Each structure stands twice: as C-alpha cells, then as structure tokens.
Chain A
Amino acid sequence: DQQVKQNSPSLSVQEGRISILNCDYTNSMFDYFLWYKKYPAEGPTFLISISSIKDKNEDGRFTVFLNKSAKHLSLHIVPSQPGDSAVYFCAASPFNSGGSNYKLTFGKGTLLTVNP
C-alpha cells in the first residue's frame, strides 16, 4: 500500500508557465513533507520542505502548498525553466514522533519536462 502517491508519472509545460506537481498521502502520522529533484545519472537533491504547522512555504520560484485536511500537497514552479526538467519526488516523514521518525517515505516521482 503506497502511503505517498504521485499519480501523474509525467508533466509537460511551456517555458515561462507554471508547473504544478501533486502529491497525496494516506498516513495521518506524516507531519513533514519534502520535495526532491533528480536529474538523470544523479542522486535526488533536496528542493523544499514544509511542516504541517504551515500551509505554504516559498523559496524563490518554488512554492509548496499543504492541505492537511485533504492530505494533499503540491509544488508550484513559476516561471518554469528548461533546466527544471527532472524527476520530482515527494517524500513524507513523521516529525519528532520517535522511533522511525528518520524514515522518509517517497512517492514514485513525476517527470517534468519544460519545453523551450
């Protein structure tokens, strides 16, 4: 049973437009959410995160929105650039819950292609 779901395997947008990547989760113990970006032949790199006490976190062109009641988060990239083309992974973790709080659960990823 997948606890973190990224239902869109791929997304294609035009340069300059907004990219919206979605992620749903089922485990109500998740309290901290992260987005990772992965280029081919490289490991994932941390992009942005959000704690459940917030509903929005912004860092430059990247904004993550969290809707706890819907167990849904999204990553907005605006304006999108060709260099943003990569696989984006959503990940979730319990926060300070002890035991396995270090364990990140990942989604399958969404391949974003930004066309010039």
Chain B
Amino acid sequence: ETGVTQTPRHLVMGMTNKKSLKCEQHLGHNAMYWYKQSAKKPLELMFVYSLEERVENNSVPSRFSPECPNSSHLFLHLHTLQPEDSALYLCASSQDPQANYGYTFGSGTRLTVV
C-alpha cells in the first residue's frame, strides 16, 4: 500500500459503456495526476491537477473526462472508449506541483475495452 489507492484494479467495458476510475490519496499531497501506460510505450501524462484545478490536459480525447472534487480524490470518467484505449491507467500524487521529490503512484487500473 503506497498511500495512493486506485479502484477498481481491473475493468472490462464495452465501447458504449460509461464507467469511472477512482483514485484516493491521504498523504496530504496537493497535486494529482493521471497517466496511461500502454504496452511498449512510455508512461503518458494525461491530466494534472494542482490544488484541485486542472493545470494540464495533454491533448487527451474528450471521451476521457477527469474530475477532482477535492485534494484527496481524483476521478477519470470514461465514455464511448475504443479498443486502443485498453491500457493500465495510473494515478499519482505529489507534495506540490514540482515533481522533484517524485510521485507516489497507485497500483493502477487495468482497463480492457471490448
């Protein structure tokens, strides 16, 4: 347990489904991130929230919609995904927007779109 909890651990969804990924941290961090890890690719930054404000959206398709209701929780709402969106989705948090002390990652949600 790293202090960042992601649920569910595994998710299989159809292309017409709507689902949400949840991330929770109780480390007192004030920045949270969504990363996507696809096979044989680097970790790709999707969204950054600092003090509950979205500060970065890395050209992510609108079928991915993040939500940060408070500094401890981060959601990724999924709608009409494509099979190529199947990947490991990792949430991370850090003490402040500067990542110099490293991120704390959750265990990830393994998403399969069928």
* Contact yes or no, A103 B45, CB < 8 A: yes
A-B contact count (CB 8 A): 71
Given that A46-B104, A96-B98 are known contacts, is A106 also in contact with B43, CB under 8 Å in the complex? yes
Given that A102-B31, A108-B41 are known contacts, is A45 also in contact with B105, CB under 8 Å in the complex? yes
Taking a contact as CB atoms closer than 8 A, the residue among A44, A93, A96, A101 that contacts B105 in the complex is: A44
Could you tell me which A residues sit within 8 Å of B by CB distance?
Answer: 2, 4, 9, 32, 34, 36, 41-46, 49, 89, 91, 93, 95-96, 100-109
Given that A43-B90, A45-B105, A46-B103 are known contacts, is A102 also in contact with B42, CB under 8 Å in the complex? no
Interface centre among B94, B102, B106 (most CB of A within 10 A): B102
| A34–B90 alpha-carbon span in the complex (Å) | 17
* Contact yes or no, B48 A46, CB < 8 A: no
Given that A2-B42, A89-B43 are known contacts, is A101 also in contact with B97, CB under 8 Å in the complex? yes
Taking a contact as CB atoms closer than 8 A, the residue among A4, A95, A104 that contacts B103 in the complex is: A104
